[in-house]
Structure 1
Amino acid sequence: MPSSTKVDLIVGIDFGMTCSGVAYARPKMKSPKLIQEWPGTARPGELNNKVPSLLLYGRDNSVKSWGFGCQTSQKKKEWFKRYLDERVFIEGLARSQQQNPDEDPPYATIQEVRKCYEDYMTCLYNHISDKIQKDESWESKRVEFIFSLPTTFTTPQITNSLRPLLTNAGFGTGGRRHSVAFGLTEPQASAVYTAVDQTTEFEDGDIMLVCDAGGGTTDLAILQKEGDDDDGTQLKELLPVAGYNFGSTNIDESFCALVEQRLQGAEGLELKENTAWTMMHSAEFQSWKRVFGTLDEKQFKEFPVKVPALKIKVSNEKAGITLGSMMFSHDDFKKLFDVEVDKMIKYIKNQMNIMSGKCPNKKIDYLVLSGGLGSSAYVQKRLKEAFTGYNAHAVAPSLKVIAAENDEPQLAVVKGLVWDQMQRQKTGKAVLKERIARASYGVVCDVPYDKKKDIGHTPVEDPIDGKQMLKGHIVWVIKKDHPISVDDAKMHEFTRVFPRGHSRKWKSSIVICHNDPYDLPNNTRNGKNWNPDVKELAEVESDLSAVSHKKFVEHQGKRSFFRKGEPYYEARYDVKFVIGAAADARFELWFQGQQWTSPNAIKIDWQEGANVPAHPAEASPKKFFSTGRSRRKYEWGTDDDD
C-alpha cells in the first residue's frame, strides 16, 4: 500500500487489456483529474478519457507508434496484459499451438510480452511527464505513481517482475522523491470511487458487491461502508477479492470466429487476409457492441459491419453479406454476450453463496458495475433480471443494481486509486481500511522438541545450547479469511545468537497455505515428506551487518560451543509482513522500533509455484476438525555465512 507520507502529486494508472487510464491529483484539488489528450487521435485537441493499450513496432524492433496512432494497423501488438501472468501465457501458447499449429502465436516468449509492457509503459510515462510538467517541473516534488492490479494476478512473482520494467520505463526515476507502488485491486478501487465520488448516497452499514468487468478479467469484491466522519469514508472487505479470466475481449474473439465460420462457407468472394480480424477491430463492430442493449429487440433490425476490400454491390446470402456488409441480427449479438454474462451471473451467485455462509446476518444492498463490459446496457439489464424481483438471492433480497459512474463506469478504477490516496493524505486514513487475507502466510522456525506430541518427527540438537529442537514449525502470522488492517501491519520477531566476528545475515523461510484457517498445518513436513498443503513463498534474508555489536544484548559464553568466558550476542529484530492488493507482498526489516533501510538490508528470493488463488472454489458446507497443538516459539534459525 502507498505510504501516508505527504506527497505533492498522486498519479494513478489503470493499465487495461484494451485501454488504459491516468488520473492525478495535487494537494489542493477537490477531485482527481484525468489526462484526456493523447497522441495519434483523428483530430487535434480531441479528448478521450482512455488511451488504447496498443503498440506498433518498426523493422528495427523499436516502437513506431502507440495508442491511437496504431489502432488500424494489422501488425499492432495488443492484449499483452493477459499474458503478463506466466502461467496464463504458457496455457495460452499451448492452446494456440494446438488449435492453430500453422500460425505463429501472438507472443512467442514471456520476454516478448514483458518487452511490450515495458515499451508501452515507456510511452505512457513520457506522455504523462510531458502533460503534467507542462506548467511546472516535478523533479524536486514528492510524486507517487500508483498502479491498480487485477485479482487474477496470483503470484508475487508477477508484481515483482513488473517493478523493474516500470523503473526502466521511467516511473520513479524523474526525481529523488519519486516512488512506485501497487495500490488497490480493480474491484477495490471501483468500490472506493463508488463510495466517495458517487451520486448514490450510501448509508453507514450498506454492503456493496462490486463487479469490475473489463476487457480481459472480471473481478468481484464485497465491502461494507463504515460511515463518514472526520477521517473520511471508510470501507472494509467482508470476503477476499475474486478474479476470473474473461471479459469483453472474449466477445471480440467469438465475433471473429463467427465471421470466419460464415466466410468459410461462402464462395466467389475476393477477400483480404485477416478479414475477420479486421472486422473485429472495426469501428462499426466496436460501436455496435457498445450500444447493444440500448434498443430492445423490436426496435432493432440488423447490425451491418463492412467487409474490408469488398465492393459495395457484392452480396452473398450464405455469408450473410448484403451490399458489401455482413449483417448480424439481435440474436447473433445476444449469443455473443450471453456466454460472458452467464459466467458473471454464475460467479456473482457463488460469491453470494459464500457470503450467506460466512456472514449469515448480513445482506448485500448494492451490485455495483464498473469496467468496459460492466458499462454495457445489455449486461446491466441481464444482471437486474438475474438478481432482483422474484430472482433475488436470499443474501440480497432488496438488491439495487447501479453503475459505478453513470456516464463512464470505465473510469471508476483509476479515479478510485487516486481518491484512496487523496483521503489518506488529508486524514491519515485510507478509504479501504480493512482487507481480507486471500491466503495464510507463515514463518518457519524451530521449537523445543516434545517426544509425546512430535511423534513421527526427528529432533535436531541445537549447536549452541544442546537442546533438542523440532525444525520446520510454522508460526502463522496472517491467516486466510482474517482481516488485515492497512494501518496495522503484521510482524514476526526473530531472535538470533552469534559470537563476535560472525555473520549477521540470517535467512528465514516464508510459506503460504490456502487451507481454511481451521485447517492449517503446524509443520512444513508430514513425517519425512514435505507437506503438500504448504508452499514456499519466499526466502527472506535479513542483514544487520551494519549495526554496531554494541546495540545487541551481550551474554557471557557459558555454552560448550564457545570458549569459557567468551561473549556472544543476542539479536532481536522484526520482519514486517506487508500483504498488498491481489498477490502483491513485500517484507520490511525493523530493528529497535525503526525500519532498517540500509542498502540490501533485506533481500527476498521469491519461490516458484506459490500462487494465491484468484477466486474461491464453489461454495460448499464447512468442515470442522482439530488443527493440532499450539506451540511456544523458540527461534535460533539458520545463519548465512556466505
Structure 2
Amino acid sequence: MAPAPDIVVGIDIGQTCSVCCFTEILTLVDGCIQGVSYSLGPDWSEPRSLNRWPCRDGTEKADKVATRVGYDRRSGNLVHWGFETVFGDPEVIVREQFKLNVDQEYEDDRCIHYRDARRWYTDYLRCLHREIQNFFDSSVPRWRERRIEYNFSTPTTWNNPAMIASIEGLIKAAGFADTSKHTVRMSLTEAEAAAIEASSTQYRPGDIFLICDAGGGTTDVNLLEVKAVGRKLELEPLDHVEGVSIDPLSLAEEMLRGKFETLKHSFPNPVADEFWLDVKGLSGDQTFSVAGIANSKMYINRQILKDAFDRQLDKVFELIDSRFAILIHEFPGKHMSHIILSGGLGSSPYLFEQVKLRYQTGGTSPDRSSTPLTVMRVLEPQLAVVRGLVRERTQQLSVDMSTSGDVFAIRRSRNSYGVIVRVPYDESKHSRLPWITDPKDQSRWIENFVDWFIRQGQVIKPDEGVQRAYSATIPAGAQHSLRHVHIVMSTLPSHQLPTLASQHGCKTVALVHYRLTENDMKLKGRQLWFRKKFWKADFTFVTKFGPADLKFQILGRQGVLSSDHDQIEVAFMEASNLKVGDNSAAPSVYQSSAASELSMGSK
C-alpha cells in the first residue's frame, strides 16, 4: 500500500470562453502525517486557494487563472500562459477553450483536432506545474522532501475510462509525477466534488438534494441523499452522475470578452437595454458599423443577451427535470429538499432566479408533493469543485478513525461494462444471433457475446468491486501463455444494451493481459473429440471502480488473490488505438482469436 501523502492538491481545469471564463483553480491542504507537520494540528486543515498568478504586469491576485496558452506566430513556440496571454498581439496566436476538445468524441463548430487540443492542454499543465513549484519554494519549507498528491477533477461528460487514462498520461508528462514522491489521482467528477463542498453547510441526515454544477463547457447534475454530517460526511447517490456539454452561451465564438464575464455573473443587473463589450483581438479605436462595433466594442441588445441565457437554461432545466423523474419513479417515498447551484454559470443571479422561479415559487416543479424545496448556491460557486476534491481526499486520509472514511460509501455506475465471452448457443434465447460450430465436438457457440457485468445506475461498493466467474480451456503446453480479456462499455440505457460486441453502442475500453498459474487449472484427460490433454481454468475476474478509473484483479481457485496475479497489464484503448472502422461496424479487434477466449457455461 502506498504511503499517505503529506500535501494534497486539488486542481480543476476549467473551460475558458468569451462569455463565462472558467479557469484553472488550485486548492492546497497541508497536514500532519507520519510526523511531518505543516498545519497546526493532527488533522487536515481547511482548504486554501493559490491566489497569485503571473501576468503581463507582474502578478495578478485571483482565485483562478485563465486556461489559455500563447504561441509565437513564426516559430510556434510557447511564449505565454494564463493571464500573461492577452489578445491583440499580432505576434502571438492565442489558444483557449480547448479543455473539452481533448476528448476524441467531442465535436464543435471549430473542428479542433484532439491531438492539437492535447498539445495545448499539456503545455498549459506544464506551466501550471512550474507555478505550483514556485509557490511551494516560497511558502512550504522542505516541500521537495514531502509526498504530494495531485487530485484532478474530471468533467462528467468524460465517461470513457480509456480517455481518462490518456489524460492522466498527459498530466504525468507535464511534470506532475516527475519524482517518486509525486503522484496523480484522477479524482471525482466535477458534480461529485461540488456536492461535497455544498454539504459542508449544515444539512441533516435524510435530506435529498440535487447539485447542479453549471460551467462554461458542461453542466453536471448529481442527486444525493445525506447519510451523515459533521466531521465525517457521507453521501449516497440516488442515480448516476449526469452531464451534458453546454455551448458557452452561444456568444463565445463572436469574439466577445472583457465585460462579458462580469455580465454573466451579474445578469440581469445592471438593468439596461444595451451593453458594450470589448471585442477579443481588436485593438485600438476601430469602428465597423455594419457589425455593430464602435471604438473596438460590440453593441449587444439586452434581449439578445437574455435569449442566449435562456437557450442554455432550457438545457439545464431538462437535466434537472430528468433527476426529478428518477426520484419520483424509483424513490416514490422520498422528496427533494434542495437544489444547489455551483460553478461559474451557477453564480449567475439570472440562473438562480430562473431556477428558483421554476422549482421553488412558480408552481411548475415536477414534484407535486407538499415538501418545501429551496434553491440555494454554494458560498463560492467557482471554488466548489476544488474544495470538494480536497475535502473528499483529506477525509479518507484523516488520522482520526472517527472522522476518516469515504464520502461515497457506494457509487452508481455511470456506464454499463462488459466482458467479451463465448456462450453455448441456446435456441430459445439466441434464435436471431449468429453461431459457429466447434469442430471438436460439433457443439454450437456464440462468439463475441457481451456479458454485461455492471449496468448503468447499478450500485457499486468501491472497496469490493464487481466479481464474475469465467472459465477457459487451454491446450497442454500453453498454460503459461499470456491471456487476454476484452472490456467493453456502453452509455446506452440498460434496456437497450447490445448483445454482441459488433453491435451499435458497444465501445472497447481496455484489453487486460494476464497469466494464470497451474494452481488455477486442472489437467483434463483426453476426450473422444479432443486427442490431446488440456487444462481447464476457472477463475474470477474482479473490476474495481474508482471515481473516474477502473482497476482489475484475478482471483484464482477458491477466490484466492495470489501474488502471481499481480502482473496484470491493462491497455486502455481509445478510438485512435483501434483499426479504422466504426465500433458499430464490428472493428477487427473483436475478430481476434482472443476476443472470445473466455467462456460462460459449458456443454
TM-score, length-scaled by structure 1: 0.76
**Aligned partner (choices 194, 199, 209) of residue 198 of structure 2:** 194
Which residues of 2 match residues 435-514 of structure 1 at below 5 A? 435-450=411-426, 453-455=429-431, 457-458=434-435, 460-461=437-438, 469-498=445-474, 499-500=476-477, 502-514=479-491
Amino acid at match of 2:76: N
Amino acid at match of 2:163: I
**Aligned partner (choices 66, 87, 91) of residue 72 of structure 1:** 87
Which of 131-140 and 208-217 deviates more? Answer: 131-140
Report the Cα distance in structure 1 between the residues aligned to 2:110 and 2:292, rounded to whole angstroms: 33
- What does residue 106 of structure 2 align with? 88
Report the Cα distance in structure 2 between the residues aligned to 1:414 and 1:144, rounded to whole angstroms: 14
- What does residue 102 of structure 1 align with? none
Which residues of 2 match residues 219-298 of structure 1 at below 5 A? 219-228=220-229, 232-246=232-246, 248=248, 250-253=250-253, 256=254, 277=255, 280-282=256-258, 284-295=259-270, 297=271
Report the Cα distance in structure 1 between the residues aligned to 2:572 and 2:283, rounded to whole angstroms: 55
Amino acid at match of 1:400: T
Contact 2:25–2:63 under 8 Å retained in 1: yes
Report the Cα distance in structure 2 between the residues aligned to 1:184 and 1:423, rounded to whole angstroms: 14
Amino acid at match of 1:212: D
Which residues of 2 match residues 271-350 of structure 1 at below 5 A? 277=255, 280-282=256-258, 284-295=259-270, 297=271, 300=272, 302-305=274-277, 328=300, 330-350=302-322
Report the Cα distance in structure 2 between the residues aligned to 1:32 and 1:132, rounded to whole angstroms: 15
1:164 partner SS? helix
- What does residue 20 of structure 2 align with? none
Report the Cα distance in structure 1 between the residues aligned to 2:387 and 2:443, rounded to whole angstroms: 57
Report the Cα distance in structure 2 between the residues aligned to 1:468 and 1:186, rounded to whole angstroms: 47
Q: CA deviation at 1:11?
A: 1.5
1:68 partner SS? coil
Which residues of 2 match residues 587-626 of structure 1 at below 5 A? 587-590=552-555, 592-593=560-561, 601-606=569-574
- What does residue 208 of structure 1 align with? 209
Q: Deviations over 1:481-518 (max 9, x none)?
A: 21122322112233334324544321223233445435
Report the Cα distance in structure 1 between the residues aligned to 2:301 and 2:428, rounded to whole angstroms: 74
1:494 partner SS? strand
Sort the Cα spacing of 1:289 and 1:229 in 2 relative to 1 into closer, same or farther, 3 A: closer
Which residues of 2 match residues 529-548 of structure 1 at below 5 A? 530-532=502-504, 535-538=506-509, 540-544=511-515
1:87 partner SS? coil
Q: CA deviation at 1:434?
A: 2.5
- What does residue 64 of structure 2 align with? 50
Percentage of identical aligned residues: 26
Report the Cα distance in structure 1 between the residues aligned to 2:503 and 2:105, rounded to whole angstroms: 23
Report the Cα distance in structure 1 between the residues aligned to 2:470 and 2:243, rounded to whole angstroms: 35
Sort the Cα spacing of 1:574 and 1:220 in 2 relative to 1 into closer, same or farther, 3 A: same
Q: Deviations over 1:507-566 (max 9, x none)?
A: 223233445435656x428xxxx5445x14245233227x5x4x44443534468778x6
Report the Cα distance in structure 2 between the residues aligned to 1:342 and 1:536, rounded to whole angstroms: 30
Sort the Cα spacing of 1:404 and 1:486 in 2 relative to 1 into closer, same or farther, 3 A: farther
Sort the Cα spacing of 1:306 and 1:493 in 2 relative to 1 into closer, same or farther, 3 A: closer
Q: CA deviation at 1:330?
A: 4.1
TM-score, length-scaled by structure 2: 0.80
Q: CA deviation at 1:137?
A: 4.3
Q: CA deviation at 1:8?
A: 1.9
Report the Cα distance in structure 1 between the residues aligned to 2:143 and 2:283, rounded to whole angstroms: 49
**Aligned partner (choices 53, 72, 76) of residue 38 of structure 1:** 53
Which residues of 2 match residues 21-170 of structure 1 at below 5 A? 21-27=25-31, 28-40=43-55, 42=57, 44=59, 46-58=60-72, 59-73=74-88, 75-89=93-107, 91-93=108-110, 107=112, 109-134=113-138, 135-170=140-175
Sort the Cα spacing of 1:593 and 1:85 in 2 relative to 1 into closer, same or farther, 3 A: same
Sort the Cα spacing of 1:223 and 1:610 in 2 relative to 1 into closer, same or farther, 3 A: farther
- What does residue 619 of structure 1 align with? none
Q: CA deviation at 1:238?
A: 1.4
Report the Cα distance in structure 2 between the residues aligned to 1:169 and 1:537, rounded to whole angstroms: 27
Structure 2: runs of 5+ lacking an equivalent: 17-22, 32-42, 585-598
Sort the Cα spacing of 1:513 and 1:42 in 2 relative to 1 into closer, same or farther, 3 A: same
Sort the Cα spacing of 1:69 and 1:151 in 2 relative to 1 into closer, same or farther, 3 A: same
Which of 365-374 and 321-330 deviates more? Answer: 321-330
Sort the Cα spacing of 1:290 and 1:468 in 2 relative to 1 into closer, same or farther, 3 A: closer
Report the Cα distance in structure 1 between the residues aligned to 2:278 and 2:123, rounded to whole angstroms: 33
Report the Cα distance in structure 2 between the residues aligned to 1:315 and 1:476, rounded to whole angstroms: 59
Which residues of 2 match residues 173-192 of structure 1 at below 5 A? 173=178, 175-192=179-196
Report the Cα distance in structure 2 between the residues aligned to 1:437 and 1:311, rounded to whole angstroms: 54
Q: CA deviation at 1:111?
A: 1.7
- What does residue 633 of structure 1 align with? 600
Sort the Cα spacing of 1:323 and 1:26 in 2 relative to 1 into closer, same or farther, 3 A: closer
- What does residue 380 of structure 1 align with? 352
Q: CA deviation at 1:66?
A: 0.4
Q: Deviations over 1:219-255 (max 9, x none)?
A: 111111112378x1111211222222215453434xx
> 1:356 aligned to 2:328?
yes
Sort the Cα spacing of 1:137 and 1:561 in 2 relative to 1 into closer, same or farther, 3 A: farther
Report the Cα distance in structure 2 between the residues aligned to 1:394 and 1:494, rounded to whole angstroms: 45
- What does residue 262 of structure 1 align with? none
Q: Deviations over 1:420-447 (max 9, x none)?
A: 1111112552212322223321223234
Contact 1:186–1:212 under 8 Å retained in 2: yes
Q: Deviations over 1:431-472 (max 9, x none)?
A: 123222233212232344445555455354385x88654444
Q: CA deviation at 1:190?
A: 0.5
Report the Cα distance in structure 1 between the residues aligned to 2:390 and 2:61, rounded to whole angstroms: 21
Which residues of 2 match residues 385-404 of structure 1 at below 5 A? 385-395=357-367, 398-404=372-378
Contact 1:462–1:468 under 8 Å retained in 2: no
Q: CA deviation at 1:139?
A: 4.9
Contact 1:511–1:537 under 8 Å retained in 2: yes
Report the Cα distance in structure 2 between the residues aligned to 1:113 and 1:315, rounded to whole angstroms: 32
1:71 partner SS? coil
Q: CA deviation at 1:64?
A: 0.5
2:233 partner SS? strand
Q: CA deviation at 1:63?
A: 1.4
Q: Deviations over 1:152-195 (max 9, x none)?
A: 2243342133122112101222x214322221111111001111
- What does residue 432 of structure 1 align with? 408
- What does residue 578 of structure 1 align with? 544
Contact 1:216–1:250 under 8 Å retained in 2: no
Q: CA deviation at 1:326?
A: 5.3
2:375 partner SS? strand
Report the Cα distance in structure 2 between the residues aligned to 1:399 and 1:286, rounded to whole angstroms: 30
2:387 partner SS? helix
Contact 2:162–2:510 under 8 Å retained in 1: no
Structure 1: runs of 5+ lacking an equivalent: 95-106, 257-276, 612-631, 637-642
Amino acid at match of 2:487: I
Amino acid at match of 1:510: I
- What does residue 19 of structure 2 align with? none
Report the Cα distance in structure 2 between the residues aligned to 1:242 and 1:633, rounded to whole angstroms: 33
